[in-house]
Amino acid sequence: MRLGFLASHGGSAARHLTAACQDGRLDATAAVLISNNSRSPALAWAQGAGLSTAHLSSATHPDPDDLDRAILDVLTAAGADTLVLSGYMRELGPRVLGHYAGRVVNIHPSLLPRHGGRGMYGDRVHEAVLAAGDSESGATVHLVTQGIDEGPVLAQARVPVLPGDTLDTLKARVQVVEGDLMLRAVRDLATRVSGA
């Protein structure tokens, strides 16, 4: 398995999976990271970690179809066969989705289908969980399809919502489970795809 990553900011899933590749917990190679943010910490980290990198965005490719093609070209040139969205804040184009169908994973900071969909990302998700009075939250790794947060669920991890929780305390509790959840889901995907 050769992993390609798309990240907009810190790229915590990319960092976690790359470390797992390097220490033998994941039988894969971290190949390439693309960011739509030329100043993202993920892009700087990936360059230092020896991954192929690219900044591709509406600034570099104003036409969405050209951007979709450019992203696919960079991923395939790096030999990526599985795509991990690591806090990527843009929708994927039809070329990338089609090429990697069934092999694009994303992590969402709630128990999908609750608190998913357009506009539900980052702190907004945790705020929605607290506003709804939910007794639990967590994280979901799912396959990416054309709809926002609508793909099949691969794995979930649950955490309690505690009395007195704030956005920051709930977010921290969810973030603790995200890395290992993503690792487990990518391992399971590799097994499922290789056995197909």
Question: Domain boundaries in the chain?
Answer: 2-195
Q: Are 142 and 108 in contact (CB under 8 A)?
A: yes
Q: Please tell me which residue in 9, 16, 108, 115 is annotated as part of the active site.
A: 108
pLDDT digit string (tens) for 32-88?
Answer: 999 999 999 999 999 999 999 999 999 999 999 999 999 999 999 999 999 999 989
CATH of 2-195, one of 3.40.30.10, 3.40.50.300, 3.30.70.100, 3.40.50.170: 3.40.50.170
Q: Are 101 and 93 in contact (CB under 8 A)?
A: no
Residue 173: exposure state from Cβ atoms within 10 A (0-12, 13-18, ≥19): middle
Amino acid at 195: G
C-alpha closest to that of 13 among 193, 146, 155, 165: 155
Q: How far is 107 from 149, CA to CA, in rounded Å?
A: 9
pLDDT digit string (tens) for 82-132?
Answer: 999 998 989 999 999 999 999 999 999 999 999 999 999 989 999 999 999
Q: Among this protein's residues, is 108 annotated catalytic? A: yes
- In sequence order, the β-bridge partners of residue 157 are 139
Residue that the structure tokens 């190949």 belong to: 31
pTM of this structure: 0.93
